[in-house]
Amino acid sequence: MQLPPALHARLAAGPGTAEPLPVARDPAAEAAPFRFAARPVRFPREHEFFEDGDVQRHLYLQDVLLQVADVPEKPRVPAFTCQVAGCCQVFDALDDYEHHYHTLHGNVCSFCKRAFPSGHLLDAHILEWHDSLFQILSERQDMYQCLVEGCTEKFKTSRDRKDHMVRMHLYPVDFRFDKPKKSRSPASPGAGTQASADVQGNSGERSEGDAMEICTEPAVASPAPVGERRTYSHRIPSTVCFGQGATRGFKSSKKKTKQC
Amino acid sequence: MWSRRQGRLRPVVCGVEELRRRGREREAVLRKARREQQLVSKRLLRDDAPEEAGEGCVSAILGETEVQQLLRQAQRGTEEKRERALVSLRRGLQHPETQQTFIRLEGSMRTLVGLLTSNQALLQLEAARCLHELSHSEQSTVAEACLPATSYLLTYLSSHSSDFIELCLYTLGNLIVESEAVRRQLLPQGIVPALAACIQSPHVAVLEALGFALSQLLQAKEAPETIIPSSILASTLPQHMLQLLQPGPKLNPGVAVEFAWCLHYIICSQVSNSLLIAHGALSTLGLLLLDLAEAVQRSEDAGLELLACPVLRCVSNLLTEAEVETVGGQMQLRDERVVAALFILLQFFFQKQPSLLPEGLWLLNNLTANSPSFCTSLLSLDLIEPLLQLLPLSNVVSVMVLTVLCNVAEKGPAYCQRLWPGPLLPALLQTLFFSDTEVVGQSLELLHLLFLYQPEAVQVFLQQSGLQALERHQEEAQLQDRVYALQQAALQG
């Protein structure tokens, strides 16, 4: 198929619309038995017209179309240690470090050192667990926000929220990032049941690997967080190291460690 | 670019001939699946192929005791030992038999989910890889066994590890196509908002994986009714998709392919194309076509048809929307470079992928049908002759070429004067010797227009034995009336 040479030049030149030649139709053009009518055509998704292109698409998805290629090497760098004080993990690939850092040290609560998969969940945790004003407000209005991205529903209690997430969003009943808060005040009603529910839930989980929310020490003897300052962010900025040691739940690993 | 991506997605360790043979077999299977409207594909992300290839042998199938043992080992001990146990499990899970064994073991998925949500990065990754192997299975029971993990996969889409997110996305993409039941779980779990949040990622690998997962969702049978109107069009996804299709130095072809297909599934569902047009879809896609043509000219065209196909489809379908006629300015497509670009792509298809010629010609029809300006461009850019060169290729192509020529001719004498004298009439006489009724019928339509608006052509037609050519079709029911009318017109003229 030969194309006129000037075509490439036209493509390279600027945008433009051709001045149309005058249109002058004769009614005899449409007279029977002739039936041509110029019109744009649309095809719905399952039309057989699309068969060839669809098959090509799926051959590509199934990796049949492309040619053999080398697997790219993961870029290696000189070995380095995690920057967070108290963490002795060594890395030689940036991807691994990124994952490690964000899993263990990113989105970490400055109060209880729990790590969360996202800033969104961390924020919810801080609000619900460590903010006394939240507790007070929640007695009068619905404060427990649904944890599902995009859902703006709020609830009076974390129990109600869980019910909502299970019923409406089909989340698992034991969703690991929505543990009921352990009551810190021994005087509050229902503390007993909550604590025991936690322990039950936790002991089941302890054998299944470290879920992020385990309170493995039942004797978390801290005073009720009344009078906490709310004027600063509780998040650890990613560039700051704390000298307090590793985050909760991190088991020091014998693999790839240096003395630190 | 694609070879890099392919390298991550299960590199094939065999020769080119073998590949071609597999390709042909696979193609036959896919065609059949499509005709039954069952065309779905899963993707498999395997990173450690070099090790396996070096070992020379594939990992062994694991029995029930071994799986149990590995799961136990994965839950306690040093991180290194636990990781090794999971790696062994993952290798075993490459086998359907091990997959079956795994899902039948009580508590196995629960354990795996526990490891997935642990705060040990390496264990998380290996657990996610195990899940990914399971998601890729063709057995519904295996894939559906992954359902307890989906809320976590979605949660992790807003985490910060791009490798991990990519893995979660491909896993979700595989699960999405498993069944409507799976989608009925994923949608209330908020998959669309989660994807909409994730699309802001700067990582190319994440975006490509996201595009894949989204395309799987949009390809679902029930998508036009249940998914596209409520979730997709109400979200910010369409705008982001169009942004990712903007031509320029930041355009990544692998990413663009996925989102172009996403757009195609949305547009051909015809749910709310006016919204897309309002977001500038036509001008973005038009510019992308120019970009593709330029890539062809630079011979940077490896795999380009994979992107060209959905883009052509999107533009063609959008051009049928009523708004296009009325809305002016930016929203319309009027730049004649689009015609130039399209012909460069047609030539590319002619050489590399002839099966896509009909789709390219479909766009040409939609561009020219109601546009005197584009018809004029066809003439002024000397594109009639190249178009005629496509005539003998196939019946479908012939009909479309003739239809486009009719689009031009029906606009009146000023247009027909530029069609004749020239190569058109000889080519038309040739098509009268074809046997396909539809091809001949379209030729008759074109002849009629030519005779009407350019009567001088009649004489030449007669001189070149046109009447004899017409006689061949006198008995054909579909053609009789028109043949007769033309014979009369020729004899009187």
Give the separation between CA B379 and CA A15, rounded to whole angstroms: 18
**Band of pLDDT at residue B56, cut at 50, 70 and 90:** very low
pLDDT tens-digit map of A132-143: 899 899 889 999
Three-class secondary structure of residue B469 per DSSP: helix
- Sign, CA torsion B477/B478/B483/B485: positive
Please state, as a whole number, how many other Cβ atoms lie within 10 Å of the Cβ of residue A77.
10
Of A47-51, B44-48, B120-124, least confident by mean pLDDT is: B44-48
* Nearest CA-CA distance, residue A189 and chain B, Å: 31
pLDDT tens-digit map of A92-122: 777 777 788 877 778 888 888 888 888 889 9
Question: What mean pLDDT value characterizes chain A?
Answer: 72
Map out the domains of chain B with their CATH numbers. 60-199 (1.25.10.10), 370-492 (1.25.10.10)
Interface A:B, Cβ pairs < 8 A: 365
Q: What are phi and psi of A109, to 5 degrees?
A: -75, 130
Give the separation between CA B90 and CA B87, rounded to whole angstroms: 5
B73 near A CB under 8 A: no
Three-class secondary structure of residue A29 per DSSP: helix
Residues 6 or more apart in contact with residue B128 via CB below 8 angstroms: B116, B164, B167, B168, B171
**Band of pLDDT at residue A242, cut at 50, 70 and 90:** very low
**C-alpha triplet B156, B162, B163: angle, nearest 5°:** 95
How far is Cα of residue A8 from the mean position of the Cα atoms in its chain? Answer: 46
Contacts by A12-15, CB closer than 8 A, 24 or more apart: A13/B337, A15/B335, A15/B337
Q: Which two tokens stand for residue B21?
A: 């043979």
- Per-residue confidence (pLDDT) for residue A74, from 0 to 100: 61
**CA distances (Å), origin B411, targets A26, B166, B182, B245:** 9, 53, 53, 35
Q: How is B150-211 classified by DSSP, letter by letter?
A: HHHHHHGGGSS-HHHHHHHHHHHHHHHTT-HHHHHHHTTTTHHHHHHHHTT---HHHHHHHH
Tell me the one-letter amino acid at B105.
Answer: L
Residues 6 or more apart in contact with residue A172 via CB below 8 angstroms: A166, B148, B151
Region B331-349: mean pLDDT is 91
Of A102-106, B219-223, B249-253, least confident by mean pLDDT is: A102-106
Region B401-422: mean pLDDT is 96
B449 neighbors B405 (Cβ within 8 angstroms): no
Share of chain B above pLDDT 70, in %: 92
Q: Any alpha helices (H) in chain A, and if so which ranges?
A: 6-12, 51-61, 94-100, 119-130, 132-140, 158-167, 191-206
Put simply, the answer to whether A64 touches B41 (Cβ < 8 Å) is: no
Region B222-242: mean pLDDT is 90
pLDDT tens-digit map of A150-202: 899 999 999 999 999 999 999 999 998 887 776 554 443 433 333 333 333 33
A206 near B CB under 8 A: no
Q: Which of residues 346-385 of B touch A (CB under 8 A)?
A: 346-347, 350-351, 353, 355-356, 358-359, 362, 365-366, 368-377, 379-383, 385
Contacts of B23 in chain A (CB under 8 A): 59, 64-65
B412 near A CB under 8 A: yes
Task: Indicate the residue of A2, A16, A59 with minimum beta-carbon distance to B336.
Answer: A16
DSSP A81: E
Strands A154-155 and A144-145: antiparallel
Residue of A nearest to B150 (CA): A171
Share of chain B above pLDDT 90, in %: 71
Give the separation between CA B441 and CA A34, rounded to whole angstroms: 9
ipTM of the modeled complex: 0.90
- Sign, CA torsion B164/B165/B168/B174: negative
- Per-residue confidence (pLDDT) for residue A67, from 0 to 100: 31
Q: Which two tokens stand for residue A141?
A: 């209005």
Comparing CA positions, the residue from B196, B217, B214, B212 lying closest to residue A150 is B196
Reply yes or no on whether the pLDDT at A41 is more than 70: yes
Of A1-10, A28-37, A74-83, least confident by mean pLDDT is: A74-83
Three-class secondary structure of residue B267 per DSSP: helix
- Per-residue confidence (pLDDT) for residue A183, from 0 to 100: 58
Residue of A nearest to B195 (CA): A149
Residues in chain B, how many? 493
Residue found by looking up tokens 């290629």 in the block: A69
Give the separation between CA B114 and CA B124, rounded to whole angstroms: 9
Three-class secondary structure of residue A145 per DSSP: strand
Put simply, the answer to whether A43 touches B7 (Cβ < 8 Å) is: no
Give the separation between CA A244 and CA B118, rounded to whole angstroms: 22
**Band of pLDDT at residue B59, cut at 50, 70 and 90:** confident
From the candidates A25, A35, A36, A169, which should be mutated to test the interface with B, based on the most B CB atoms within 10 A? A36
Task: Indicate the residue of B35, B188, B335 with minimum beta-carbon distance to A15.
Answer: B335
* Nearest CA-CA distance, residue A99 and chain B, Å: 5
Region A46-50: mean pLDDT is 93
